[in-house]
Amino acid sequence: MKRLRYLPLVLAVCLLAVAAMLPNFSLADLRVALPWLSELINRVEALRPGMDSTHVLMFLGVGAALVLALPQSNWRRRVAPALLGVLLLALASEFVQFWVPGRTPLWSDVRDDLVGGAMGIIIASAMVWLWQRWRSGAWSGRRGGGVGPEGPPARGGGQ
């Protein structure tokens, strides 16, 4: 079951690889063949003018998946490798575009990838931290007590 934590990362990296190596004319054909996808991409791109929101959202998922795949319980040991992974994937996704017809590698895309990756890392780290606090019963005031996955504590005495 522990290997299942790698599944979101594998899916995110596969999606990223396909998106990075898809020629421009194939992207245009895909948008014509799937109007719902074209509408979705148009809405995402309209979120933040001046920034490629598609890159931000894709790398948000990559950053979150990296945090979830790392086994360390200390969040500091998750963040640095996750940031390095996002940086390497951002550079690699732009580097391969030198050989993809109709695609141009841009530093602004790397910037947008890093922004999205950092957002994903922050969100996933916060979710992991909240989950760990909830599981440990830290909000109840005593370790292992409170309402958690095992339910509320039993009341004393049957009087």
Cα distance between residue 125 and residue 137, in whole Å: 18
Q: Is the pTM of this model over 0.75?
A: no
Closest to 71 measured CA to CA, from 81, 62, 63: 81
Q: Sign of torsion, CA 85 86 87 88?
A: positive
Q: Are 86 and 146 in contact (CB under 8 A)?
A: no
Q: What is the pLDDT of residues 93-147, one digit of tens each?
A: 999 988 988 888 889 899 999 999 999 999 998 888 888 888 777 766 555 544 5
Q: What is the pLDDT of residues 47-97, one digit of tens each?
A: 777 777 778 888 999 999 999 888 766 777 778 888 999 999 999 999 998
The Cα-based distances of 142 to 98, 133, 137, 146, 155 in angstroms read 57, 12, 7, 8, 15
Residues in the chain: 159
